[in-house]
């Protein structure tokens, strides 16, 4: 009975939060709003749930927006190894790069699960190349790899791997060096747990070093209760929205009450500045192609790496 009453009171509280189609709170053209954020911010960080189709499409549409390349100098990404930065540079500048060479960029990161084998990450680089092909060299978008620069040919034990295991420290150093020190504007694309302002998220340190320089956008990873809440809050016919958590009442809702990953007991606005809503239809995961799953040489090497990490 006690648990029922708690749930009932929470429901009453959430149902009284009103949807306010206000220019200061909820933006019905989220891509344009992200573009406009650069008038006030040096960096926009968009968290991602790995491999999701709609989230990827949103990022690609943002990059293709005609104003994006005029404003944003660099995209910094989690899903690439800086050991292969020259390969990235050649590819996005429209030079001939064989696919077997290009795929080292995302297949040889510290992440041994194969998460970056989802086609959405290859498509990211393809899209940057496509956009750059229409731009003068001096106006082209740069991409900076921000996973630690591990060389798997030299890793045979966990002790060899350990220096590359801190995936928060390296992005901070590279963003300080390549973005802040050069006074450039950047888009960050990392898993949402890395971009949130708590826990292992590295953006809190950037914000501390450079106050008010960064805007953090969180994609929804809501549990069933969270989706029911959104259905009461946002009209079902709504197009994609960007919700300002600092100004809208939804920012007062507890993160753990709505989120699939119950990992932060604070309010939503304490984790990020904006919530990206892409519709009520469940976002699909773009699965790894069968050709990669059956690539024996790659899978043997991936198993070797998994075994190394399991020895910790």
pLDDT tens for residues 130-159?
999 999 999 999 999 999 999 999 999 999
Long-range contacts of 202-210 (CB under 8 A, 24+ apart): 202/168, 202/169, 202/171, 202/172, 203/45, 205/172, 206/43, 206/172, 206/175, 206/176, 209/176, 209/180, 210/42, 210/180
CATH-assigned architecture of domain 22-310: 3-Layer(aba) Sandwich (3.40)
Predicted pLDDT of residue 209: 96
Nearest CA to 145 among 112, 113, 111, 118?
A: 111
Predicted pLDDT of residue 10: 46
pTM for this one?
A: 0.89
Domain extents for the chain? 22-310
Predicted pLDDT of residue 237: 66
CA 18 → CA 24, 44, 226, 292, distances in Å? 14, 27, 15, 47
Predicted pLDDT of residue 262: 65
Q: What residue ranges of the chain have pLDDT lower than 50?
A: 1-22
Tell the burial category of 183 from Cβ atoms under 10 Å away from its Cβ (0-12, 13-18, 19+): exposed
């Amino acid at each position: 009975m006690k648990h029922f009453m708690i749930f009932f009171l929470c429901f009453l509280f959430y149902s009284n939060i009103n949807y306010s189609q206000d220019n200061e709170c909820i933006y019905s053209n989220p891509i344009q709003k992200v573009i406009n954020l650069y008038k006030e911010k040096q960096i926009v960080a968009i968290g991602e749930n790995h491999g999701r189709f709609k989230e990827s499409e949103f990022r690609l549409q943002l990059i293709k927006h005609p104003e994006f390349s005029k404003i944003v100098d660099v995209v910094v990404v989690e899903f690439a190894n800086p050991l292969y930065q020259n390969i990235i540079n050649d590819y996005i500048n429209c030079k001939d790069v064989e696919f077997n060479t290009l795929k080292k960029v995302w297949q040889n990161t510290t992440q041994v699960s194969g998460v970056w084998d989802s086609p959405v990450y290859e498509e990211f680089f393809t899209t940057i190349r496509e956009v750059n092909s229409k731009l003068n060299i001096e106006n082209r978008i740069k991409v900076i790899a921000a996973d630690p620069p591990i060389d798997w040919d030299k890793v045979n034990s966990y002790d060899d791997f350990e220096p590359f295991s801190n995936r928060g420290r390296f992005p901070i150093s590279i963003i300080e060096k390549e973005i802040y020190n050069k006074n450039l504007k950047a888009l960050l694309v990392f898993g949402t747990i890395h971009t949130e302002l708590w826990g292992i998220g590295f953006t809190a340190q950037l914000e501390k070093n450079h106050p008010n320089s960064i805007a953090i956008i969180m994609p929804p990873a809501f549990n069933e209760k969270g989706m029911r809440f959104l259905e009461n809050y946002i009209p079902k016919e709504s197009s994609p929205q960007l919700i300002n958590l600092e100004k809208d009442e939804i920012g007062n809702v507890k993160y753990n009450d709505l989120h699939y990953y119950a990992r932060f007991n604070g309010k939503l606005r304490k984790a990020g500045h904006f919530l990206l809503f892409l519709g009520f239809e469940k976002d699909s995961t773009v699965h790894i192609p069968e050709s990669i799953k059956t690539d024996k040489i790659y899978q043997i090497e991936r198993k070797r790496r998994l075994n190394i990490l399991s020895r910790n």
